A and B are shown apart, each in its own frame.
Chain A
Amino acid sequence: MTEEDFRKICRKFADKLGPTFIERVERRIKEDFEKALERSPKELLIAIIEDIHLRFVLPFEMSLQISAYLAELYDIKDYILALSERHYLHLSERQEEIKRFVDSFYRMVKELGLEEQFRKQEERWWEI
Protein backbone atom coordinates (compact mmCIF):
# COMPACT_ATOMS: atom_id res chain seq x y z
CA MET A 1 0.00 0.00 0.00
CA THR A 2 1.19 3.52 -0.76
CA GLU A 3 1.08 6.50 1.58
CA GLU A 4 -1.78 7.82 -0.52
CA ASP A 5 -3.69 4.56 0.03
CA PHE A 6 -3.25 4.92 3.79
CA ARG A 7 -4.52 8.52 3.60
CA LYS A 8 -7.56 7.44 1.65
CA ILE A 9 -8.41 4.76 4.23
CA CYS A 10 -7.88 7.17 7.15
CA ARG A 11 -10.34 9.56 5.50
CA LYS A 12 -12.92 6.78 5.11
CA PHE A 13 -12.80 6.11 8.87
CA ALA A 14 -12.95 9.81 9.69
CA ASP A 15 -15.96 10.36 7.43
CA LYS A 16 -17.82 7.36 8.84
CA LEU A 17 -17.04 7.79 12.53
CA GLY A 18 -17.23 11.56 12.83
CA PRO A 19 -15.54 14.34 14.81
CA THR A 20 -15.87 12.81 18.30
CA PHE A 21 -13.97 9.76 17.14
CA ILE A 22 -11.30 11.90 15.47
CA GLU A 23 -10.87 13.98 18.63
CA ARG A 24 -10.30 10.79 20.61
CA VAL A 25 -7.67 9.62 18.12
CA GLU A 26 -5.99 13.04 18.30
CA ARG A 27 -5.81 12.71 22.10
CA ARG A 28 -4.30 9.26 21.69
CA ILE A 29 -1.61 10.36 19.22
CA LYS A 30 -1.20 13.84 20.75
CA GLU A 31 -1.27 15.37 17.28
CA ASP A 32 -3.74 17.09 14.98
CA PHE A 33 -5.47 14.64 12.63
CA GLU A 34 -4.60 16.55 9.45
CA LYS A 35 -0.96 16.95 10.44
CA ALA A 36 -0.67 13.26 11.28
CA LEU A 37 -2.35 12.40 8.00
CA GLU A 38 0.27 14.39 6.17
CA ARG A 39 3.27 13.27 8.23
CA SER A 40 2.64 9.55 8.65
CA PRO A 41 -0.66 8.16 7.41
CA LYS A 42 0.25 4.57 8.27
CA GLU A 43 0.90 5.47 11.92
CA LEU A 44 -2.36 7.37 11.97
CA LEU A 45 -4.24 4.41 10.52
CA ILE A 46 -2.75 2.12 13.17
CA ALA A 47 -3.92 4.54 15.89
CA ILE A 48 -7.41 4.61 14.36
CA ILE A 49 -7.60 0.85 14.20
CA GLU A 50 -6.22 0.51 17.75
CA ASP A 51 -9.08 2.66 18.99
CA ILE A 52 -11.70 0.72 17.03
CA HIS A 53 -10.20 -2.56 18.20
CA LEU A 54 -10.19 -1.62 21.89
CA ARG A 55 -13.52 0.21 22.06
CA PHE A 56 -15.73 -1.57 19.55
CA VAL A 57 -14.33 -4.93 18.47
CA LEU A 58 -12.87 -6.38 21.67
CA PRO A 59 -16.07 -5.90 23.71
CA PHE A 60 -18.00 -7.80 21.06
CA GLU A 61 -15.35 -10.51 21.08
CA MET A 62 -15.72 -10.60 24.86
CA SER A 63 -19.44 -11.06 24.42
CA LEU A 64 -18.79 -14.12 22.23
CA GLN A 65 -16.57 -15.64 24.93
CA ILE A 66 -19.02 -14.79 27.71
CA SER A 67 -21.72 -16.57 25.76
CA ALA A 68 -19.59 -19.69 25.27
CA TYR A 69 -18.41 -19.64 28.91
CA LEU A 70 -21.90 -19.39 30.40
CA ALA A 71 -23.31 -22.02 28.04
CA GLU A 72 -20.54 -24.57 28.39
CA LEU A 73 -19.91 -24.36 32.12
CA TYR A 74 -23.27 -23.36 33.53
CA ASP A 75 -25.73 -24.30 30.80
CA ILE A 76 -26.95 -20.70 30.59
CA LYS A 77 -28.11 -19.96 27.07
CA ASP A 78 -29.12 -16.30 27.36
CA TYR A 79 -27.37 -13.34 28.82
CA ILE A 80 -28.13 -9.65 28.90
CA LEU A 81 -26.06 -6.57 29.66
CA ALA A 82 -28.13 -4.19 31.77
CA LEU A 83 -26.70 -0.78 30.83
CA SER A 84 -29.28 1.03 32.94
CA GLU A 85 -32.54 0.09 34.65
CA ARG A 86 -34.33 0.47 31.33
CA HIS A 87 -31.71 -0.27 28.72
CA TYR A 88 -30.96 -3.96 28.30
CA LEU A 89 -28.69 -5.26 25.58
CA HIS A 90 -29.64 -8.81 24.60
CA LEU A 91 -26.44 -10.14 23.11
CA SER A 92 -26.85 -13.91 23.21
CA GLU A 93 -29.41 -13.85 20.41
CA ARG A 94 -27.08 -11.77 18.20
CA GLN A 95 -24.03 -14.02 18.27
CA GLU A 96 -23.93 -14.74 14.54
CA GLU A 97 -24.19 -11.05 13.70
CA ILE A 98 -21.46 -10.25 16.22
CA LYS A 99 -19.24 -12.97 14.82
CA ARG A 100 -19.61 -11.53 11.32
CA PHE A 101 -18.68 -8.08 12.62
CA VAL A 102 -15.59 -9.36 14.44
CA ASP A 103 -14.51 -11.51 11.47
CA SER A 104 -14.88 -8.59 9.08
CA PHE A 105 -12.61 -6.51 11.32
CA TYR A 106 -9.84 -9.14 11.25
CA ARG A 107 -10.29 -9.60 7.48
CA MET A 108 -9.87 -5.86 7.04
CA VAL A 109 -6.78 -5.79 9.25
CA LYS A 110 -5.26 -8.62 7.21
CA GLU A 111 -5.94 -6.86 3.91
CA LEU A 112 -4.34 -3.70 5.30
CA GLY A 113 -1.22 -5.67 6.19
CA LEU A 114 -1.64 -5.04 9.92
CA GLU A 115 -2.33 -8.55 11.16
CA GLU A 116 0.85 -8.62 13.26
CA GLN A 117 -0.45 -5.71 15.35
CA PHE A 118 -4.02 -7.01 15.60
CA ARG A 119 -3.84 -10.76 15.73
CA LYS A 120 -7.02 -12.54 16.72
CA GLN A 121 -6.46 -14.56 19.89
CA GLU A 122 -8.67 -17.52 20.51
CA GLU A 123 -7.56 -19.32 23.66
CA ARG A 124 -10.52 -20.71 25.55
CA TRP A 125 -9.32 -19.73 29.00
CA TRP A 126 -11.94 -21.83 30.79
CA GLU A 127 -10.56 -25.00 29.21
CA ILE A 128 -6.85 -24.56 29.89
Chain B
Amino acid sequence: MSSRFENAVDNFLAQIGQSIFRITTLNRIWKAFMAFCMCIITEAFRRRGYTITPQNCAGGFLFKCFPAGDPDNYSYFTAEKGSERYEIRLSIDAQNFQYSSLKLNLDVAIIRANSIGSNRIVDSQNDLITFAECKNLRGFPELVATLEGIVYELQRARLHRNSLANFRIPCCLLLSGSGRSILYMDRRYQNRNMSIRIFESLQPGSRAVISFIRNWF
Protein backbone atom coordinates (compact mmCIF):
# COMPACT_ATOMS: atom_id res chain seq x y z
CA MET B 1 0.00 0.00 0.00
CA SER B 2 1.31 3.49 -0.91
CA SER B 3 2.05 6.04 1.78
CA ARG B 4 0.50 9.52 1.84
CA PHE B 5 3.60 11.13 0.39
CA GLU B 6 3.70 8.63 -2.46
CA ASN B 7 0.05 9.27 -3.22
CA ALA B 8 0.69 13.01 -3.26
CA VAL B 9 3.63 12.57 -5.65
CA ASP B 10 1.63 10.22 -7.87
CA ASN B 11 -1.30 12.66 -7.97
CA PHE B 12 0.97 15.49 -9.04
CA LEU B 13 2.87 13.46 -11.62
CA ALA B 14 -0.31 12.00 -13.09
CA GLN B 15 -1.22 15.45 -14.42
CA ILE B 16 2.03 15.86 -16.33
CA GLY B 17 1.55 14.88 -19.94
CA GLN B 18 -2.20 15.55 -19.78
CA SER B 19 -4.22 18.47 -21.15
CA ILE B 20 -2.30 21.77 -20.88
CA PHE B 21 0.41 20.05 -18.85
CA ARG B 22 1.84 18.31 -21.92
CA ILE B 23 5.63 18.45 -22.03
CA THR B 24 5.54 20.69 -25.12
CA THR B 25 3.55 23.26 -23.16
CA LEU B 26 5.55 22.81 -19.96
CA ASN B 27 8.72 23.54 -21.91
CA ARG B 28 7.28 26.87 -23.05
CA ILE B 29 5.17 27.96 -20.12
CA TRP B 30 8.15 29.91 -18.74
CA LYS B 31 7.06 32.65 -21.14
CA ALA B 32 4.24 33.41 -18.70
CA PHE B 33 7.00 35.13 -16.72
CA MET B 34 7.26 37.78 -19.45
CA ALA B 35 3.51 38.41 -19.19
CA PHE B 36 3.77 38.50 -15.41
CA CYS B 37 6.60 41.04 -15.61
CA MET B 38 4.56 43.18 -17.98
CA CYS B 39 1.77 43.23 -15.38
CA ILE B 40 3.97 44.16 -12.42
CA ILE B 41 5.70 46.85 -14.50
CA THR B 42 2.30 48.25 -15.45
CA GLU B 43 1.32 48.18 -11.79
CA ALA B 44 4.48 50.10 -10.87
CA PHE B 45 3.38 52.87 -13.27
CA ARG B 46 -0.20 52.83 -11.95
CA ARG B 47 1.07 53.25 -8.38
CA ARG B 48 2.93 56.36 -9.46
CA GLY B 49 -0.20 58.03 -10.71
CA TYR B 50 -0.11 57.05 -14.36
CA THR B 51 -3.44 56.32 -16.01
CA ILE B 52 -3.24 52.84 -17.47
CA THR B 53 -5.32 51.81 -20.45
CA PRO B 54 -5.18 48.36 -22.06
CA GLN B 55 -5.05 48.51 -25.86
CA ASN B 56 -5.84 46.05 -28.66
CA CYS B 57 -7.64 43.66 -26.37
CA ALA B 58 -11.16 43.38 -27.78
CA GLY B 59 -10.83 39.59 -28.05
CA GLY B 60 -8.92 39.23 -24.78
CA PHE B 61 -5.44 40.39 -23.83
CA LEU B 62 -2.96 38.86 -26.25
CA PHE B 63 0.57 38.81 -24.80
CA LYS B 64 3.29 38.87 -27.45
CA CYS B 65 5.77 36.34 -26.04
CA PHE B 66 7.97 35.88 -29.12
CA PRO B 67 10.20 38.23 -31.09
CA ALA B 68 8.67 38.10 -34.59
CA GLY B 69 5.33 39.51 -35.68
CA ASP B 70 3.75 42.94 -35.99
CA PRO B 71 3.53 44.53 -32.51
CA ASP B 72 0.25 46.20 -33.42
CA ASN B 73 -1.42 42.80 -33.73
CA TYR B 74 -0.95 42.23 -30.00
CA SER B 75 -2.15 43.86 -26.80
CA TYR B 76 -0.26 46.42 -24.75
CA PHE B 77 -0.84 49.08 -22.11
CA THR B 78 -0.61 52.83 -22.39
CA ALA B 79 0.53 54.85 -19.36
CA GLU B 80 -0.23 58.57 -19.23
CA LYS B 81 0.54 61.28 -16.70
CA GLY B 82 0.65 64.96 -17.61
CA SER B 83 2.67 65.31 -20.79
CA GLU B 84 4.14 61.81 -20.48
CA ARG B 85 2.54 59.24 -22.82
CA TYR B 86 4.13 55.81 -22.91
CA GLU B 87 3.38 52.36 -24.23
CA ILE B 88 4.28 49.24 -22.25
CA ARG B 89 4.88 46.44 -24.75
CA LEU B 90 6.32 42.95 -24.98
CA SER B 91 8.99 41.67 -27.40
CA ILE B 92 9.82 44.88 -29.20
CA ASP B 93 12.78 45.45 -31.52
CA ALA B 94 14.96 48.43 -30.65
CA GLN B 95 18.01 49.90 -32.27
CA ASN B 96 20.19 52.93 -31.66
CA PHE B 97 20.21 54.58 -35.08
CA GLN B 98 22.76 57.20 -34.00
CA TYR B 99 25.36 54.49 -33.38
CA SER B 100 24.04 52.02 -35.98
CA SER B 101 23.85 49.53 -33.14
CA LEU B 102 22.63 45.96 -33.22
CA LYS B 103 18.89 45.57 -33.52
CA LEU B 104 17.82 43.83 -30.31
CA ASN B 105 14.53 42.39 -29.19
CA LEU B 106 13.54 43.52 -25.69
CA ASP B 107 11.32 41.43 -23.42
CA VAL B 108 9.43 44.41 -21.99
CA ALA B 109 9.89 47.86 -23.49
CA ILE B 110 8.47 51.16 -22.27
CA ILE B 111 8.49 53.49 -25.24
CA ARG B 112 7.09 56.87 -26.20
CA ALA B 113 3.55 56.58 -27.52
CA ASN B 114 3.33 55.93 -31.26
CA SER B 115 7.09 55.59 -31.65
CA ILE B 116 7.27 52.19 -33.34
CA GLY B 117 8.49 52.93 -36.85
CA SER B 118 7.11 51.51 -40.08
CA ASN B 119 10.06 49.07 -39.92
CA ARG B 120 8.67 47.90 -36.52
CA ILE B 121 11.76 49.18 -34.74
CA VAL B 122 11.98 51.68 -31.88
CA ASP B 123 14.80 54.22 -31.91
CA SER B 124 16.38 53.54 -28.55
CA GLN B 125 18.26 56.82 -28.47
CA ASN B 126 15.11 58.92 -28.63
CA ASP B 127 12.06 56.82 -27.88
CA LEU B 128 13.01 54.02 -25.50
CA ILE B 129 12.18 55.12 -21.96
CA THR B 130 13.35 51.93 -20.27
CA PHE B 131 13.22 48.17 -20.63
CA ALA B 132 13.32 44.91 -18.71
CA GLU B 133 14.89 41.58 -19.52
CA CYS B 134 12.88 38.79 -17.91
CA LYS B 135 14.47 35.47 -17.01
CA ASN B 136 12.55 32.65 -15.41
CA LEU B 137 15.81 31.43 -13.92
CA ARG B 138 18.20 31.76 -11.04
CA GLY B 139 20.69 34.55 -11.68
CA PHE B 140 24.18 33.86 -13.02
CA PRO B 141 26.95 36.21 -14.16
CA GLU B 142 26.40 35.79 -17.91
CA LEU B 143 22.93 37.31 -17.52
CA VAL B 144 24.49 40.50 -16.16
CA ALA B 145 26.99 40.56 -19.02
CA THR B 146 24.12 40.18 -21.48
CA LEU B 147 22.18 43.00 -19.83
CA GLU B 148 25.19 45.32 -19.93
CA GLY B 149 25.73 44.36 -23.57
CA ILE B 150 22.15 45.30 -24.41
CA VAL B 151 22.56 48.57 -22.53
CA TYR B 152 25.80 49.29 -24.37
CA GLU B 153 24.13 48.79 -27.73
CA LEU B 154 20.93 50.69 -27.03
CA GLN B 155 21.57 53.31 -24.35
CA ARG B 156 25.24 53.22 -23.47
CA ALA B 157 25.10 56.37 -21.34
CA ARG B 158 23.25 54.29 -18.73
CA LEU B 159 26.60 52.64 -18.03
CA HIS B 160 28.09 55.94 -16.81
CA ARG B 161 28.20 56.97 -13.16
CA ASN B 162 25.18 59.08 -12.14
CA SER B 163 23.24 58.02 -15.22
CA LEU B 164 20.06 58.07 -13.13
CA ALA B 165 20.08 61.83 -13.60
CA ASN B 166 19.46 61.33 -17.33
CA PHE B 167 17.55 58.04 -17.27
CA ARG B 168 15.02 58.39 -14.48
CA ILE B 169 13.65 54.86 -14.81
CA PRO B 170 16.32 52.13 -14.51
CA CYS B 171 16.38 49.36 -17.05
CA CYS B 172 16.43 46.06 -15.27
CA LEU B 173 17.03 42.37 -15.16
CA LEU B 174 14.02 40.63 -13.62
CA LEU B 175 14.58 37.13 -12.24
CA SER B 176 12.02 34.68 -10.93
CA GLY B 177 14.72 32.71 -9.13
CA SER B 178 17.37 33.72 -6.64
CA GLY B 179 19.93 36.29 -7.76
CA ARG B 180 22.26 35.65 -4.86
CA SER B 181 25.34 35.18 -7.03
CA ILE B 182 24.91 38.48 -8.91
CA LEU B 183 23.23 40.87 -6.49
CA TYR B 184 26.55 42.51 -5.65
CA MET B 185 26.32 43.99 -9.16
CA ASP B 186 22.98 45.58 -8.27
CA ARG B 187 24.62 47.16 -5.21
CA ARG B 188 27.43 48.41 -7.44
CA TYR B 189 24.92 50.01 -9.84
CA GLN B 190 23.20 51.70 -6.94
CA ASN B 191 26.44 52.89 -5.35
CA ARG B 192 27.39 54.45 -8.68
CA ASN B 193 23.90 55.92 -9.14
CA MET B 194 23.56 54.06 -12.44
CA SER B 195 20.23 53.59 -14.16
CA ILE B 196 20.38 49.78 -14.12
CA ARG B 197 18.87 47.40 -11.55
CA ILE B 198 18.57 43.69 -10.84
CA PHE B 199 15.49 42.32 -9.06
CA GLU B 200 15.33 38.71 -7.91
CA SER B 201 12.76 36.18 -6.64
CA LEU B 202 9.86 37.80 -8.47
CA GLN B 203 7.44 35.01 -7.74
CA PRO B 204 3.68 35.37 -7.66
CA GLY B 205 2.51 36.56 -4.28
CA SER B 206 6.01 37.24 -2.94
CA ARG B 207 7.18 40.31 -1.02
CA ALA B 208 9.84 40.75 -3.71
CA VAL B 209 7.13 41.70 -6.20
CA ILE B 210 5.75 44.34 -3.85
CA SER B 211 9.25 45.61 -3.23
CA PHE B 212 9.86 45.89 -6.98
CA ILE B 213 6.63 47.82 -7.52
CA ARG B 214 7.50 50.23 -4.70
CA ASN B 215 11.21 50.70 -5.31
CA TRP B 216 11.89 50.35 -9.02
CA PHE B 217 11.86 54.11 -9.72
Chain A interface residues toward B at CB < 8 A: 1, 5, 8-9, 12-13, 16-17, 54-56, 58-66, 69-70, 73-74, 76-85, 88-89, 91-92, 94, 97-98, 100-101, 104-105, 107-108, 110-113, 120-126, 128
Contact = CB atoms under 8 A, between A and B. Distances in A.
B141 interface: no
A107 B203 CA distance: 19
B21 A66 contact: no
Contacts of A123: 205-207, 209-210
Nearest to B75: A79
A54 B177 contact: yes
B74 A65 contact: no
Nearest to B24: A87
A116 to B, nearest CB: 15
Given A60-B29, A82-B66, A112 B209 contact: no
B11 A59 contact: no
B16 A111 contact: no
Contact of B5 (A111, A120, A124): A111
Given A82-B65, A82-B74, A62 B35 contact: yes
B126 interface: no
A49 B35 CA distance: 24
A9 to B, nearest CB: 6
B9 interface: yes
Given A9-B9, A98-B20, A123-B210, A59 B74 contact: no
Contacts of A60: 29, 32
Interface size class of B (residues with CB under 8 A): 35 or more
Interface of B: 3-13, 15-17, 19-21, 25-26, 28-33, 35-36, 39-40, 43, 46, 52, 54, 57, 59-66, 68-69, 74, 136-138, 176-177, 203-207, 209-210, 213
B11 A63 contact: no
Contacts of B32: 59-60, 62-63, 66, 81, 91
A80 B39 CA distance: 14
Nearest to A102: B204
A80 B136 contact: no
Given A76-B57, A78-B61, A123-B207, 15 more contacts: A54-B136, A56-B26, A62-B204, A65-B205, A76-B60, A82-B63, A83-B66, A89-B28, A91-B32, A104-B11, A108-B8, A113-B5, A121-B205, A122-B205, A123-B209
Given A12-B13, A65-B204, A78 B60 contact: yes
Contacts of A16: 13, 16-17
Nearest to A100: B15
A59 B61 contact: no
19 contacts: A13-B9, A16-B17, A54-B138, A54-B177, A58-B136, A60-B32, A62-B35, A70-B39, A76-B57, A77-B60, A78-B59, A83-B65, A104-B12, A108-B8, A110-B8, A111-B7, A111-B9, A120-B205, A124-B205
